[in-house]
Chains A and B, each alone.
Chain A
């Protein structure tokens, strides 16, 4: 792979929702709200200034076959180059960045949304993501997370108390952002006092779902310099199936660090998928950060706004939720951040961005 590229800048962002149920808006109206806010934040006119549009969604989440039919209208992408990446929003960001770096676009809009409150039986939908011949187990989908957590904890000497520490820390950090529906003051003891749902996880170790829509505007280096951008310096994603380790993030982060010429220790903030408490620690290990060191050293900024445990999981928009946090973090005066997303059970796919002021 080629490693040194031109930069792509984030010049605008908008979001809507981050509530367990957005009752009064359809998913299309939610996307329209987020897009309007992103265009307002940057002064971009989608009908004149944007060259390509990327939407990130999956048919079964939407309950619509060929759901990409609904992508163009709410983001101003009708009669324009609009396409869908059925994947996490960060994969969409990377596709958008590739469109810019290839020269086919100067300004690209990336959208993702989720309305899990419309899904009657989400566990059954997740089960349909498993191999139809070998692994549609018919058990609670969190069972797979329990297996993964147990192996990870054994390999790295992580204790149940460490997971409770992640939950306690992230739920209280959530108070720093208005997007947190689940922020609360919860002690380690409170978490440990819960019954197991699937060993070693209680319901408090598992992030809840939220309805949300998020839109980002990316621009070429030349255009972005006219704004006050956050630069994307490194990017990659990967799929790698290995129980007990997030090998997908090891592979993706190595490539992203190489591209950005950076080590994780040189970055100010880490925004990492924590939809299960153990995943925060497992993902840190994959990013090259010792989870034990993180647990000991309160100064390492990991999910300083509470991650998914505080804000919830907006399905394919989850990675963009972490990127929103990273952009806020940088706008508060920090220099750089790593964003590391995961697509959730039953996938082994993760994406990494290195962003900098």
Chain B
């Protein structure tokens, strides 16, 4: 298998109601990634675009529209696995290079949620089975409330334990210059915030965000020419469960375990809880970070809240989790958020994460994203 590495990354601010167009956001992130890599757009031979539902931007064939932000006259295409798209964009960039077809690939992920009217949630009115589910007009937060409830009920987890994720991630985001909702909040703040759909409350949820992320992925030869501190992509995995979410055991993301096993096998990781130094699990809701730490087999089923309470996932803990601040603190422009998580791991492994840099030395990092009807997961393992 060819060795593939990362040599640059860039982010825009994550904010609600950004004035830039989706193309401009993608262009800003791409320019920053190219600057960090020391490359120009003309040096790039292939471009991979990641963006989640077209309805957010209100543009059909959004990949064609975003291609104008750097893909013109190049081998450019878009990949899509709902909310799991951001990490899939990095995975696709990896196989563009690992296949031997491309040498230098620009991976760009963009999302502009805030223009959706009356609220971005309205876009999610059309994600259901058009015959059996749409007539019931479900809301996305309702089904995640069901999942959160099931997770809590199955393992006897309390809301206070889950709220610690929101507290940790928003605190970590204080160190992130791109973050939308950093803050020093308490468990009490989370428990007293507005109830959306019980048990989901306002501070359990990531915000509506606009933003873009970009990363430059290249062959071993190019990586060694451009940097003395390479970061390699050593494992990738992705899995989709079936469409029928009501029949699924919601307490445990088995599809994530499959994706993680695929990535770990490639990266030769046998004991994830011992071998992974830093992790960025997808956290659009606070309970999801715990859910995903278990699916990634970093914590045993139902035990992530205990490890969280013990400080294992703190920035100075044994396995720092979401040192970027995650979606809860940095924001959740869906596809861009997943690529932001991948970039966070890349910066950690390269040692250039600034104030976000975790305290312990790190050699192996994992980023993960999640999406569709509680059915998709994407996992990437990187090493320095």
Chain A: residues with CB nearer than 8 A to chain B? 1-2, 5, 58-60, 63-66, 68-73, 77-87, 91, 94-95, 97-104, 125-126, 128-129, 131-133, 235-241, 247, 251-252, 255, 343, 346-349
Contacts and interface: CB of A to CB of B under 8 A. Distances in A.
Given A63-B130, A128-B59, A69 B243 contact: yes
Interface of B: 1-2, 21, 45-46, 52-55, 58-65, 67-68, 71-82, 88, 92, 94-96, 98-103, 123-127, 130, 236-244, 254-255, 258-259, 262, 266, 371-373, 375-376
B60 A1 contact: no
A72 B240 contact: yes
Contact of A58 (B54, B73, B258): B54
A229 B206 CA distance: 49
Q: Nearest 4 A-B pairs (CB), nearest first?
A: A102-B98, A101-B99, A98-B99, A128-B60
A83 B59 contact: no
Contacts of B259: 81
Nearest to A69: B372
B99 A59 contact: no
A65 B46 CA distance: 27
A239 B73 contact: yes
A83 B65 CA distance: 21
A125 B102 CA distance: 33
Nearest to B92: A95
Contacts of A83: 79-81, 88, 92, 238, 240
B77 A68 contact: no
Contact of B21 (A64, A104, A133): A133
Secondary structure of the B contact surface, majority rule: mixed
A348 B65 CA distance: 10
Given A71-B240, A78-B240, A103 B98 contact: yes
Given A86-B62, A129-B59, A66 B372 contact: yes
A74 B125 CA distance: 23
Given A78-B242, A84-B81, A129-B60, A69 B95 contact: no
Given A1-B102, A78-B242, A81-B238, A64 B126 contact: yes
Contacts of A80: 239-240, 258
Contacts of A343: 61, 64
Nearest to A74: B243
B266 A104 contact: yes
Given A82-B240, A238-B74, A64 B58 contact: no
B61 A73 contact: no
Residue from B100, B102, B238, B254 with most neighbouring chain A CB atoms (10 Å)? B100
A69 B98 contact: no
Contact of B72 (A81, A237, A241): A241
Contacts of B123: 65
Contact of B243 (A2, A70, A131, A239): A70
10 contacts: A2-B102, A63-B126, A69-B243, A79-B255, A79-B258, A81-B262, A82-B240, A84-B79, A85-B79, A87-B63
Contact of B76 (A70, A78, A128, A239): A239
Contacts of B99: 5, 97-102
A59 B130 CA distance: 13
Nearest to B63: A86
Nearest to B115: A132
Given A238-B74, A240-B72, A349-B67, 12 more contacts: A1-B103, A65-B53, A65-B55, A65-B124, A66-B82, A72-B243, A79-B242, A80-B239, A87-B77, A129-B59, A239-B64, A347-B61
Nearest to A26: B131
A251 B76 CA distance: 12
Residue from B81, B103, B373 with most neighbouring chain A CB atoms (10 Å)? B81
Contacts of B92: 83, 95
Contacts of A69: 82, 127, 243, 372-373, 375-376
Contacts of B125: 65
A86 B80 contact: yes
Given A78-B242, A79-B242, A99 B95 contact: yes
B348 to A, nearest CB: 25
A217 to B, nearest CB: 18
